[in-house]
Amino acid sequence: MSTFALLWSYMQSNGINIWQTLFFGLFIGASTVLFGGVLWSKFAHMFYKPAAAFQKRVTKADGSRENLPEPADMPKKFGLGIEREAPRHY
């Protein structure tokens, strides 16, 4: 997108009308694709967390985690962490 913007700007400074229009169209197309694609990437992330939770339930139900270690989501097991000291450093 920025390349097409720079080329469009360069063509404007040289006064070449046909190339100005071409690079302006390419700039508009590239910016539409770039910013239009952001919505779809956020849309896809909405389905990741429920799908991961479903997969976790399925693997627990069918026993495919039997030979694997337990998940490491137990922070109390690894020390006091943030509860170690009261925040007095300000």
pLDDT digits (tens, 9 = 90+) for 46-88: 777 788 888 888 888 888 777 777 766 655 555 566 666 666 7
Q: Is residue 28 part of a domain?
A: yes
Q: Is residue 73 part of a domain?
A: no
Confidence of residue 28 (pLDDT cuts 50, 70, 90): very high
| Between 87 and 32, the higher pLDDT residue | 32
DSSP 8-state code for residue 57: H
| Mean pLDDT score across all residues of the chain | 78
Query: pLDDT at position 87, please?
Result: 66
> What is each CA distance from 89 to 85, 86, in whole angstroms?
10, 9
pTM beyond 0.85: the answer is: no
Domain total in the chain: 1
Judge whether 81 and 75 are in contact, CB under 8 Å.
yes
Q: What contacts 26, CB < 8 A, 6 or more positions away? A: 4, 7, 8
User: What does the block give as tokens for 76?
Assistant: 């109390």
Q: Is residue 8 part of a domain?
A: yes
Q: Is residue 29 part of a domain?
A: yes
Query: pLDDT at position 71, please?
Result: 67
User: What does the block give as tokens for 11?
Assistant: 């063509």
Smallest Cα–Cα separation from 31: which of 57, 11, 5, 49? Answer: 5
Tell me the C-alpha distance between 26 and 3, whole Å: 10
Domain housing 50: 1-57
Q: Is residue 12 part of a domain?
A: yes
Q: Is residue 74 part of a domain?
A: no
| Between 15 and 40, the higher pLDDT residue | 15
Q: Is residue 84 part of a domain?
A: no
Q: Is residue 35 part of a domain?
A: yes
